Amino acid sequence: MKQWNIVITGFGRVGWHVAELIGKRRERYLQRYQADVRIVGVCGSKKGLYHQAGLPGEQLAALTAASGGLQASPEASEAHTGTAFLQGSGADVVIEAGPTDFVTGGPAYEYITTALRCSMHVISISKGALVFDYPGLKRLAEEHQVMLKISGATAAALPTIDLAEYNLAGCEVSRFVGIFTGTTNFILSKMYQDNVPFEEAVAEAKRRGIAEPDPRFDLEGWDTACKLVILANALFDAGLRLEQIEREGITGITVEQMLQWREQNLVPKLTGEICRTAHGICASVKPRLYPAEHSFAQVNGATKAVMVETDVMGELLVIGGKSDPRAAAAAACKDLEHILMMHKTP
């Protein structure tokens, strides 16, 4: 039986849920993969905790984003943040769950590159570093013969990257289109169904905890665009940059437009689309109108969906997947299971 040491960088809501789920699944990992999985370190923005035998589950459970930060205890020593934290951790897998910085990659980029150079597998929930330089990170993972897994960064609980890489292996994907952001889908559904203005729909999304306090990243189409960049580069080797994506958000949509579309039996959805053309890969994010009988038109609330067109398996549609921190954490834990599965000892 192999001991697998896990370090979580970025210990906000998502990171906490990752720790929670791993703790609950330890027995499953033992039985299914003969893997003794232990969280040996967690690292926030100002402080880290480390214990080589594994951090006590009750201590991790007591830590929340609102707990005032990570605190040392007799069972866990305080550690510095930054790349030195990783280098001395003895981690087998690093789960990156920090904030997204798609301009520079942010601290996540340093954590991921350090982990890969130290021959640690990486699971990234944070999108920023992947948007900044996924091709470079993928090459680094290959050079050091480790895995770079990204399910949590590409629509979380909605399977996108795994759908293409595993279920459609061997196919040529010609088109990849989806409702990738639950926040915008909730707002458009609310406006369309309840005839309410944009501002009221946004306020309702905030009240329900679906939208962030500052939801511009979602509303202006950046969240969907970031996911498209990652998917295009991971699945199509497109070498695509964020600034190359045609992007239009939903902030300009009015009640009057909604009334007109309803009369025409058309339903608006903010979708991201990647197409393979004779001139290469093109990608765009914008509100698109779908006939009421179209599958996308029937995807309401914070639900997401993806449609894939292939050469030999035809068209596939997947609908669902929660849009919350626990769902993102669950996607990361799915990636962990894939790593354990690939390295299971006979």
pLDDT in tens, 252-265: 999 999 999 999 99
Q: Are 34 and 132 in contact (CB under 8 A)?
A: no
Instruction: Report residue 314 CA to chain centroid gap.
Output: 26
**Is residue 26 marked as binding?**
no
Low-confidence winner among 83-87, 142-146, 317-321 (lowest mean pLDDT): 83-87
Across the range 247-252, mean pLDDT stands at 97
Across the range 138-143, mean pLDDT stands at 98
**Is residue 10 marked as binding?**
yes
Superfamily of domain 161-321: Dihydrodipicolinate Reductase; domain 2 (3.30.360.10)
Following DSSP, what letter does each residue of 209-242 receive, concatenated?
Answer: TSS-SS-HHHHTTHHHHHHHHHHHHHHH-----G
What are the C-alpha distances in Å from 238 to residues 133, 154, 230, 282, 283?
12, 16, 10, 9, 10
Q: Is 219's pLDDT higher than 80?
A: yes
- The pLDDT tens digits of the residues spanning 171-195 come to 999 999 999 999 999 999 999 999 9
For CA atoms 72, 23, 141, 230, give the dihedral sign: negative
Confidence of residue 286 (pLDDT cuts 50, 70, 90): very high
Contacts of 2 (CB under 8 A, 6+ apart): 34, 35, 36, 343, 345
- The pLDDT tens digits of the residues spanning 22-68 come to 999 999 999 999 999 999 999 877 777 888 888 876 667 666 533 44
Q: Is 69's pLDDT higher than 80?
A: no
How far apart CA 105 and CA 173 sit, in angstroms, is: 28
The size of the chain, in residues, is 346
**Is residue 206 marked as binding?**
no
User: What's the chain's average pLDDT?
Assistant: 91
Main-chain dihedrals φ then ψ at residue 122, nearest 5 degrees: -130, 135
The verdict on domain 2-157+326-342 having CATH code 3.40.350.10 is no
Question: What is the H or E stretch that residue 315 is in?
Answer: strand 315-319
**Is residue 128 marked as binding?**
no
What are the C-alpha distances in Å from 102 to residues 123, 130, 133?
17, 8, 9
How far apart CA 240 and CA 233 sit, in angstroms, is: 6
**Is residue 182 marked as binding?**
no
Where are the chain's structural domains? 2-157+326-342, 161-321
Following DSSP, what letter does each residue of 47-69 receive, concatenated?
Answer: -EEE-TT---HHHHHH--TTSSS
Across the range 115-141, mean pLDDT stands at 97
**Is residue 69 marked as binding?**
no
Spell out the alpha helix ranges (H) of the chain.
13-24, 26-33, 57-62, 83-87, 106-117, 128-143, 161-162, 182-194, 198-207, 216-219, 222-236, 255-263, 325-342
Residues with catalytic roles = 227
Report the pLDDT value the prediction gives residue 63, as an integer from 0 to 100: 60
Across the range 266-294, mean pLDDT stands at 96
Cα atoms in the 13 Å half-sphere on the side-chain side of 283: 27
- The pLDDT tens digits of the residues spanning 300-322 come to 999 999 999 999 999 999 999 88
Across the range 94-107, mean pLDDT stands at 93
DSSP conformation class of 8: E
Q: Is 155's pLDDT higher than 90?
A: no
Asked whether the whole model's pTM tops 0.75, one would answer yes
Q: How many CB atoms lie within 10 A of CB 129?
A: 29
Q: How many CB atoms lie within 10 A of CB 273?
A: 19
